[in-house]
Amino acid sequence: MPNRGTNDFQVDGQNDEKTVWKIVADTLLIPMEFINSELSYQSVMQWDSMGHVNLMLAIEKNFDVKIGQDQVLELTSVSEIVSYISKCSTSNFSQKNSIKDNEKSNIIHRGLTNIYFDESEITFIDAKNGKLFHRGYSIDDLVKQASYEEVAYLLIYSDLPNKKALNIFQKKIELFRKLSDSTVSVIKLLVNNQTATNVLRTITSHLSETLADLSVEDQGIAYIAKIPTIIGTYLAFKNNKDLPQPPEKLSQAAYLLFMLLGKIPETDVIRIFEQNMILQAEHDSNASTFAARITTSTEAELGNAITSAIATFSGCLHGGALLGVVQMLQEMHDANEVKSYIQNRLKKKAPIFGFGHRVYRTEDPRAKPLKENAKILSEKYGNARLLEILEAVKAEMSGYIEHGINVNVDFYACISYLLMGLEKDMLVPIFIANRSCGWVAHIIEQKNKNILLRPRLQYTGDIKDKFIEIEQRA
């Protein structure tokens, strides 16, 4: 029987339950009257991923038990936590049998976590080992050896291109980059009262009819090509500058950088930017990709599906962590301030941006190359402060890392972009530009084996006995 710690809790199940309820209330800052056995992970705002790890740490501390990563994923309701603690109190406790499957006829999976809604040949995430593959190719190999165009082609056409195919693909991108005068005029009208993300969404919708006669693949290539142009046009109007006039035959990375900076940086900077583009190009059924597939499943055309995908970035929970990490960097002057800053945010239940992922329990495999790129640019520009702050943040979060709240793709990405001189408000539009090829791949796959995506909601309200006439209502 495990030692119950300094709190000297009783072994019987009733007291275990009362204690767990109090720990849940105190840790998640939920009034006791709202606690019940059915309360579960993500059923309330306070019980998010960070709150879940805080709760697991509190359970460990109060009951003097050790909760492994697999158990962290299983202990997702008050009743399951109580059951686990009760079994920890018996001599025949078996860890592998600690949590029984939920045997309700209708199991609720809030947030659709770890729910597979279809098969796909695009991306494989090995969440347990922190590996990522696109069309069977490791992201480590792609980021080191491929161009962004090669990766985009791979995602769309299912295989890496030969030289002839890549040349045709690149020429199509160059051909589709130009915007019509009418589209430019619409951007000019929107620029003063809309964010770049909202302008991207609106212009994408605006373009849908003009591209509808193209094949679905060429429609996708057109959006990949035009999104950087929309960003650059928006930025020029916003800053009262002339519209950018890029040279011909630029790679997608060099073109996007030119539209953002008005110049072409050094070759090594372009390559680092391109690697970051590859790392953000595709990632299974994330919020924006799922939105694109849902829209496509209604037999909507590609432009509307991409419009849906972009719309998901108007919320702060998809892509917003990029700006959150920038905010943290701006609020700390150096690494010496990290400890008090992080402890203060945790005390307030505020998020630590750049940590946690709905899929990975290990470090996001995209984080390592992003960190390497941030280090290279930090040395190139003689500015190590940003990276030092983030490394100190990571060290301060070590307890959370041990419980599966680890560094994600957003943590290091912003350093490279800031050191390149890119405006922070452009980080989400850059992410959208990079991710566009992944959306196209998923839209095509959805079209090729379509089924309407129509999940259910389990009703928990009352069934009324009869309709009450308006005169009789209180």
In terms of domains, do 140 and 285 share one? yes
Residues 205 and 325 placed together within one structural domain of the fold? no
Residues 302 and 326 in one domain: no
Query: Is the backbone of residue 132 left (phi > 0), alpha (psi -120 to 50) or beta?
Result: beta
Is the same domain home to 408 and 368?
A: yes
Instruction: Assess whether pLDDT exceeds 80 at residue 241.
Output: yes
Same domain, yes or no: 339 and 264: no
Residues 296 and 324 in one domain: no
DSSP 405-418: --B-THHHHHHHHH
Q: Which of 52, 357, 403, 442 is catalytic?
A: 357
Is 154's pLDDT higher than 80? yes
Candidates 16, 48, 364, 410; catalytic one: 410
Residue-wise over 413-428: b if at least 16 C-beta within 10 A, else e?
Answer: bbbbbbbbebbeebbb
Whether 10 shows a pLDDT value over 80: the answer reads no
CATH of the domain at 396: 1.10.230.10
Least-confidence region, from 197-206, 441-450, 456-465: 456-465
Q: Is position 352 within any domain? A: yes
Whether residues 138 and 252 share a domain: the answer is yes
Has residue 105 got a pLDDT over 50?
no
In this prediction, residue 349 has a pLDDT band, given cuts at 50, 70 and 90, of: confident
283 flagged as catalytic: no
pLDDT digits (tens, 9 = 90+) for 254-288: 999 999 999 999 999 999 999 999 999 999 999 99
- DSSP character string of 178-228: PPPHHHHHHHHHHTTTS-HHHHHHHHHHHHTTTTTTS-HHHHHHHHHHHHH
**Is residue 380, in this structure, part of any structural domain at all?**
yes
56 is in which domain, residue-wise? 13-102
CATH number of the domain residue 31 falls in: 1.10.1200.10
Known active-site residue 403: no
pLDDT band, very low/low/confident/very high, at 89 (cuts 50, 70, 90):
low
Query: Average pLDDT of 99-114?
Result: 59
Give domain status of residue 472, yes or no: no
pLDDT, mean over the chain = 89
* Alpha carbon distance 205, 305 (integer Å): 9
Predicted confidence band of residue 90 (pLDDT cuts 50, 70, 90): low
pLDDT for 295 beyond 70: yes
Residue 390 lies in a domain: yes
Are the C-beta atoms of 76 and 41 separated by less than 8 Å?
Answer: yes
Whether 426 maps to a domain, the answer reads no
For residue 386, tell me if it sits in a domain: yes
Whether 79 maps to a domain, the answer reads yes
Q: In CATH, what number is assigned to the domain containing residue 148?
A: 1.10.580.10
318 noted as active-site residue: yes
Instruction: State whether 174 and 309 are in the same domain.
Output: yes
Tell me: do 94 and 167 sit in the same domain.
no
Enter the tokens of residue 253. Answer: 């990375």
- Is the pLDDT reported for residue 91 higher than 60? no
User: Are 324 and 300 in a shared domain?
Assistant: no
**Integer CA distances (angstroms), 197 to 11, 133, 426, 430, in order:** 55, 28, 9, 10
- In percent, how much of the chain has pLDDT > 70? 93
CA dihedral 326, 332, 334, 340 (to 10 degrees): -130
Angle (nearest 5°) at CA 315 between 154 and 244: 60
Looking at the chain, the whole-number percentage of residues with pLDDT higher than 90 is 65
Number of domains the chain contains: 3
Which region among 4-13, 205-214, 334-343 has the lowest average model confidence (pLDDT)? 4-13
> Same structural domain for residues 209 and 300?
yes
The reply to whether 296 and 172 lie within a common domain is yes
Choose from 79-88, 217-226, 321-330, 402-411 the range with maximum mean pLDDT. 217-226
Give pLDDT, residue 106. Answer: 62
Q: Of the candidates 102, 121, 143, which is a domain's last residue?
A: 102
Indicate whether 171 belongs to any domain: yes
